[in-house]
Amino acid sequence: MGYRTVTDIFSQISGVYDRFLSLATLGRIHSWQRDLVKDMGKGGNWLDVGTGTGEVLLKLGEDYEGLKVGLDPAEGMVFSAKVKCAKCGFVMAVAEDLPFKEGTFSRISLSLVFRHLQDQSRFLREAGRVLKDEGVLGIIDIGRFRGTGAVLLLMRTVLRPLGTLVFGREKWEFFIRSVEESYTVGEVVSLLEKNGFRVLKVRRRMLGTVFIITARKTAL
């Protein structure tokens, strides 16, 4: 599925995305994002990739010292984020082609975005380029594990009526496919290490269905 289709889907659901995400995670998405910010540490310019409605940037606080920049290819999401975070800057672009100079950021975060990327390795190389030396990358995402089949079964049965009602059939099928294409924690760690990062910490949440990984850019 190309980025045009993905951006269309996320633009169309931008108005209900926060509410649905809170329901789907039993409200835990906010604590996961706070854990991510804590693990990454604050300081320097921060880039939130696939920022959606800007929730990660909001959790940095209004007194954050450094630029707070959100990047997303979906116009609807960027519009919603601008309303919520007036002191943040936003750019419409894709993760695999970051429109920034080398060493612009000290922190790069992704919240429930990594599995949606078209080319994870290319993104990681771009992240390494725009990060300062010793910069930190943080990822929250759904991970494939032994119970992924059960999660998919729930999405196709019990959760399907709610998902279809909120998003529509085509969009709900997109989310099901995104879970099918998710990575294991081991696969993400391997991708990070192959692309110039050293893993600092791995947390697992929601009975192992969600992971929070922080990694540091390694010296060349």
Residue 180, domain member (yes or no): no
42 falls within a domain: yes
Sign of the CA dihedral with 26 first, then 31, 35, and 37 last: positive
CA 178 to chain centre: 13
Give this prediction's pTM: 0.86
15 vs 123 pLDDT, higher one:
123
Cβ contact 110:176 at 8 Å:
no
**pLDDT per residue as tens digits for the range 47-96:** 999 999 999 999 999 999 999 999 999 888 899 999 999 899 999 999 99
CA-closest candidate to residue 95, choices 6, 202, 220: 6
CATH code for the domain in which residue 87 is found: 3.40.50.150
154 in any annotated domain:
no
| Residue-number span of the structural domain to which 11 is assigned | 3-143+187-217
Mean pLDDT taken over the chain: 89
Q: What is the pLDDT of residues 175-203, one digit of tens each?
A: 788 777 789 999 999 999 999 999 999 99
Q: Based on the structure, what is the number of domains in the chain?
A: 1
Bridging pattern class, strands 105-111 and 89-91: unpaired
The letter for the amino acid at 170 is E
